[in-house]
Amino acid sequence: MTYRTPIADMLLSLNHGGGLLAAIKAGHYNGFDPDFSAAVIEEAGRFASDVLDPLNRTGDQKGVQLANGEVTCAPGWPEAYKRWSEAGWNAVSAPEAYGGQGLPLAVHAMCNEIWSAANIAFGLCPLLTSGAIEALDAHGTEELKQIYLAKLVSGEWTGTMQLTEPQAGTDVGALRTRAEKQADGSYRLYGSKIFITYGDHDMTDNIVHLVLARLPGAPAGTKGITLFLVPKFLVNADGSLGARNDIFASGLEHKLGMHASPTCTMSIGDKDGAVGYLIGEENSGMACMFTMMNQARLNVGIEGVGIAERAYQQALAYAHDRKQGRAIGEKGERSDPIIVHPDVKRNLMLMRGMTAAARSICYATAVAIDISHRASEESVRTKAAARAALLTPLAKAFSTDIANEVAALGVQVHGGMGFIEETGAAQYIRDARILTIYEGTNGIQAVDLVMRKLGADKGAAMTDLLDELSGIVAKVEASNDPAFGTAGLRLHEALNAVERASKWLLEKIATAPNDALAGATPYLRLVASATGGCLLAREALAAQGDEALHNEAARYVALARFFAETIVVQANALERSVIDGADTINNAAAVLAG
Amino acid sequence: MTYRTPIADMLLSLNHGGGLLAAIKAGHYNGFDPDFSAAVIEEAGRFASDVLDPLNRTGDQKGVQLANGEVTCAPGWPEAYKRWSEAGWNAVSAPEAYGGQGLPLAVHAMCNEIWSAANIAFGLCPLLTSGAIEALDAHGTEELKQIYLAKLVSGEWTGTMQLTEPQAGTDVGALRTRAEKQADGSYRLYGSKIFITYGDHDMTDNIVHLVLARLPGAPAGTKGITLFLVPKFLVNADGSLGARNDIFASGLEHKLGMHASPTCTMSIGDKDGAVGYLIGEENSGMACMFTMMNQARLNVGIEGVGIAERAYQQALAYAHDRKQGRAIGEKGERSDPIIVHPDVKRNLMLMRGMTAAARSICYATAVAIDISHRASEESVRTKAAARAALLTPLAKAFSTDIANEVAALGVQVHGGMGFIEETGAAQYIRDARILTIYEGTNGIQAVDLVMRKLGADKGAAMTDLLDELSGIVAKVEASNDPAFGTAGLRLHEALNAVERASKWLLEKIATAPNDALAGATPYLRLVASATGGCLLAREALAAQGDEALHNEAARYVALARFFAETIVVQANALERSVIDGADTINNAAAVLAG
């Protein structure tokens, strides 16, 4: 297959579901011209289909190699990366002061969806670079920025995020890599890291590693970790590359999927210590890490949207092509394409609906982040930051959960052919599986949603979101349009369920935190499906009201309705699961011991 | 890991959830002693852990090879198969007249669960042999039975089921392999087949292929297909092996999982025609195929239970072993095993609960099949056959759907390690993926449930099932035991939802069949989760009432409660999805075209 960028869907999602147009109208977008979005993604789509898509299978089949401490990517990948970065794609939303285009993150998010759909293992590399750019821009010294930032922005060098150690995964504070200060103000680092994505590769001539380590005498746990910039090659005063630094890939993981993305074990300082430079303050590494990680979480959600879209497109094409059986009422020997069968249609509608809902949640998150940076009024920025913080775990967890569900449905649509690797559908199952795990497992996202995002402001950001969503539902109900079926009712019920579950959780956070934690995962699914359902309804209403989209409106209404009637309708059950599940979960030890 | 047979869970499930003891008490089991079950599965469990489990990874990694028309299995597999068949495991429920032990299918089902849990790709081979035994026993001539049946029963030879061709998957009637009658009464077959499981291998010295083909002038579609027995090697009058028959493996599929199970493209009759013998009447192949397939569908469900149990055991062990973070309220630097975290407990409870519910549905199906053969009264046999027919699509589809869900949760519990192949958890995702597809996709199972099983007798078998399940719910409600939480209420609501959805579907089957087909998949999930929930409740009540299980009763009650409160609670949403989804699904073409 060749991935085709769904431009109309993406623009409707960004402009209306994600709320870009409303934000621009309210003056929160610093003069951005929304017509520009279409031009960017059309161009990105062309590049993705022409250059990245053909390398997707190659990468899966050939994988990566490690020899003599150097990682080699799949054939064609270094050339493709060079073309991609030279075309300026790495710099879309990067700071203009360092050569970036300074476009909104929302536009960058659309591009990231396109890279992920065309070739998810390729698109992963620049996501790491983005995190490094953000952390360095926010916390780096002017000197470090001058040396490293422009090269990262252009994509001439890539970045890594080095947190994980064998005993320190989710529990970052348990890491043991140590750093010692040198007379010249630099540091030497010693230790090892695992699961380092693109920890080494041959696509660029230098790599900028951001490494978390612990200084002598630092406080235990997360309060005692510090972030360092550790280049693969040291950089001379004139910007040229100097000596090879003492940080090497010492192993590659053999993974279920994402075969073309090197996942490295890193040996740091085995010879004479790896030279590193402080980012931020000593012992403030956790804050720096969250700077990298927040946007990374959105980006992983976007990866989920991209691969789900790809899986959907492939399944749809197969359902049109493959002939088996007859539609009800048809006679004779000719077979019909399987898309005539209602169960196949259901699978495809589920794939499309879940992908669209996840996309709109991700885009809404990107818009909120943009407003939190671009709006002129501080109160608007603060409120948008809270919205972005609330939406980020939804964007990450819901989009990656549905990516796995969509990939599985895609294989199912293919029948026996889906299980055969040559078909390509199975690769999406393998690749998507990591998305629910890295950058914080989806369980951690749910805990973050309940304990930090809901709990931190006593539900204020959630109330604000529910107010906005209720406005959408009121419009659906006021439309009295039978094409919406029972969507208005289902969305209304779902928002009520979110409200009740949130209230219950807020009580439990204070009085019985294990009860709140036990309900975190179904609560996230509840909030995300209600939010996604409302955003799809807003898009459908906007399409109805837009002359240019008038012929398309009916299908957006039908999709919003289907999502509400088959996914959002689970809201009351999810609410019960949040509330009723705690008792058995808290007492699970005895059950599980048997 | 090494798989440990969960003997207590399996016996409770068979005896009470599956209803074996009640059936024995009612005199429907032809004198079978239930204490015998325990002895058999203890022995099977030992063999599985000692011999089959160690080959599970070997098989996944080494896979199978095809050279010079001969398939070679992974190292150690032929020896293991020999030990397994010589120990009598192939013959558990096979007919005594041909050397079988004549034990109930229910006992055989437990054994099959054990083989699948220990090594699913190994356990798949005898499932095909079982299908061949059944078809041959039911439809073969006395002469064919004399020559082939004892060898198949002992496992000295294995069987295959050869239905699928490139244009004929779900649509079996489209097959083109042709058969021509010879002067001696035998036939010659010409054609090719795809996706033939264990179509060739080196574990036995002969293979008995059951091949569907079309005779000259046969009616189009399913009414014109005929079943033939086509041995790999012809058999001489004295039982010794004769000439190599003209049926060869010409290709092996490169699959997502089940690497150790050869999936062959078969070339039939390329030289001078493959010698075949008629099974059943000419043009009655469809009926013979269903004989093979019905029990095969239950067996695939059982495979789902087995691999789910294995995935659960591995995740549980990891959750006890892996230390990350602290339980709420714990301080200091020591980390706790991740099983202290409520979200991990929820995942493990979901894995255990779904596995237990699927097991009980499968065992109840096996018990119904046994009664349909063993009961002395014809009316009892007929009713049991209808029950078995109703439960079979639930057993197949629900168990294999949850197998995939459980395998995915298992990877999730492992975090990043889950994505690494060496951990082993990812293999279960890969292996389980085929279960929802082969022997009729789960979409086909749902259509079968609605159109054939519900529709055929105007809901009589469903009403009969609901009556039995309502009796269980009444006992839960009457117990007033707070340990059941809201389980009684949820089960009650779910049975009402099944009743309403069934009524709606019965109307639509007659008046608007596409509406009925559109709701088939959520209907199957609704019926299966309600049924599974009630069976778990029956097991919990039985444990409470059994002195020997008194110390264990609390955990069975908690599991039944958790399943009702988190899975069965989705019943109303599933009912709405059945009924409200039809409109958008029937009009999906326009949505999907955009």
* Alpha-carbon distance values, A264 to A59, A171, A284 (Å): 16, 19, 25
Using the beta-carbon criterion (under 8 Å), do A408 and B328 form an inter-chain contact? Answer: no
Using the beta-carbon criterion (under 8 Å), do B416 and A570 form an inter-chain contact? Answer: no
The pLDDT, as a whole number, for residue B513 is 97
Four-residue CA torsion sign, A541, A547, A548, A554: positive
Using the beta-carbon criterion (under 8 Å), do A517 and B343 form an inter-chain contact? Answer: yes
Active site residues of B: 439
Active site residues of A: 439
B283 within 8 A of B219, measured Cβ to Cβ = yes
pLDDT over threshold 80, residue A333? no
Q: Is A585 on the interface with B (CB under 8 A)?
A: yes
- Reduce the DSSP state of residue B191 to 3 states and report it: strand
**Residue whose structure tokens are 């300074």:** A102
pLDDT over threshold 80, residue B30? yes
Q: Is A22 on the interface with B (CB under 8 A)?
A: no
Tell which of A13, A175, A344, A345 to mutate to test the B interface (max B CBs under 10 Å): A345
- Put simply, the chain B residues between 183 and 222 with a CB less than 8 A from any chain A CB are 194-195, 220-221
A190 within 8 A of A177, measured Cβ to Cβ = yes
CA distance B519 to B450: 9
Using the beta-carbon criterion (under 8 Å), do A254 and B421 form an inter-chain contact? Answer: yes
On the 0-12 / 13-18 / 19+ scale of CB atoms within 10 A, A88 is middle
Q: Return phi, psi of residue B177, to 5°.
A: -55, 130
Question: Residue B594: which pLDDT band, with cuts at 50, 70 and 90?
Answer: confident
pTM of the model: 0.98
The pLDDT, as a whole number, for residue A594 is 78
pLDDT over threshold 90, residue B175? yes
CB contacts < 8 A, A to B, total: 287
pLDDT over threshold 90, residue A345? yes
Mean pLDDT of B272-285: 97
Question: Residue B1: which pLDDT band, with cuts at 50, 70 and 90?
Answer: confident
- Candidates 2.60.40.1220, 2.40.110.20, 3.40.50.2300, 3.40.50.150; correct CATH number of B156-284? 2.40.110.20
Using the beta-carbon criterion (under 8 Å), do B335 and A174 form an inter-chain contact? Answer: yes
Q: What are B325-353's pLDDT values in tens digits?
A: 999 988 877 899 999 999 999 999 999 99
Instruction: Write b or e for each residue in A303-336: b if 16 or more Cβ atoms lie within 10 A of its Cβ, otherwise e.
Output: bbbbbbbbbbbbbbebbeebebbbeeeeeeeebe
Question: Residue A234: which pLDDT band, with cuts at 50, 70 and 90?
Answer: very high
Q: Is B561 on the interface with A (CB under 8 A)?
A: yes
Q: What are A237-284's pLDDT values in tens digits?
A: 999 999 999 999 999 999 999 999 999 999 999 999 999 999 999 999
- Put simply, the chain B residues between 386 and 415 with a CB less than 8 A from any chain A CB are 404, 408, 411-412, 415
**Percent residues over pLDDT 90 in chain A:** 95
The pLDDT, as a whole number, for residue A1 is 81
Mean pLDDT of A187-210: 98
Q: What are A358-399's pLDDT values in tens digits?
A: 999 999 999 999 999 999 999 999 999 999 999 999 999 999
CATH 2.60.40.1250 fits A157-282, yes or no: no
**Chain A nearest CA to B427, separation (Å):** 8
CA distance A190 to A269: 4
Mean pLDDT of A316-342: 93
B300 within 8 A of B128, measured Cβ to Cβ = no
A564 within 8 A of A537, measured Cβ to Cβ = yes
Q: Is A497 on the interface with B (CB under 8 A)?
A: no
Q: Is B343 on the interface with A (CB under 8 A)?
A: yes
CA distance A447 to B183: 75
Q: What are A22-69's pLDDT values in tens digits?
A: 999 999 998 899 999 999 999 999 999 999 999 999 999 999 999 999
More confident residue, A551 or A52: A52
CA distance between the termini of chain A: 48
The pLDDT, as a whole number, for residue A551 is 87
Using the beta-carbon criterion (under 8 Å), do B254 and A420 form an inter-chain contact? Answer: yes
Q: Left (φ > 0), alpha (ψ -120 to 50) or beta: where does A68 sit?
A: left
Find, in chain A, the residue whose alpha carbon is nearest to that of B445. Answer: A343
DSSP one-letter code for A168 = B
A498 within 8 A of A525, measured Cβ to Cβ = no
Mean pLDDT of A522-532: 98
Mean pLDDT of B447-465: 96
Which ipTM was obtained for this model? 0.97
**Chain A nearest CA to B258, separation (Å):** 10
What are the sequence ranges of the domains in chain B? 156-284, 442-583
- B255, B438, B490 member nearest A420 (Cβ): B255
Mean pLDDT of A328-349: 93
Q: Is A316 on the interface with B (CB under 8 A)?
A: yes
Using the beta-carbon criterion (under 8 Å), do A347 and B443 form an inter-chain contact? Answer: yes
Of the candidates A33, A57, A21, the residue with the CA atom closest to the CA atom of residue A310: A57
pLDDT over threshold 90, residue A456? no
Question: Residue B278: which pLDDT band, with cuts at 50, 70 and 90?
Answer: very high
Which chain B residues have a beta carbon less than 8 Å from that of A522?
Answer: 566
The pLDDT, as a whole number, for residue B300 is 98
Q: What are B437-449's pLDDT values in tens digits?
A: 999 999 999 999 9
**Percent residues over pLDDT 70 in chain A:** 100
The pLDDT, as a whole number, for residue A550 is 84
Using the beta-carbon criterion (under 8 Å), do A429 and B256 form an inter-chain contact? Answer: yes
Gyration radius of chain B over CA positions: 24
pLDDT over threshold 90, residue A474? yes
Averaged confidence pLDDT in chain B: 96
The pLDDT, as a whole number, for residue B382 is 97
The pLDDT, as a whole number, for residue B289 is 87
pLDDT over threshold 90, residue B292? no
The pLDDT, as a whole number, for residue A170 is 86
Q: Is B57 on the interface with A (CB under 8 A)?
A: no
H-only helix segments in A480-566: 487-511, 513-518, 520-544, 550-566
pLDDT over threshold 90, residue B588? yes
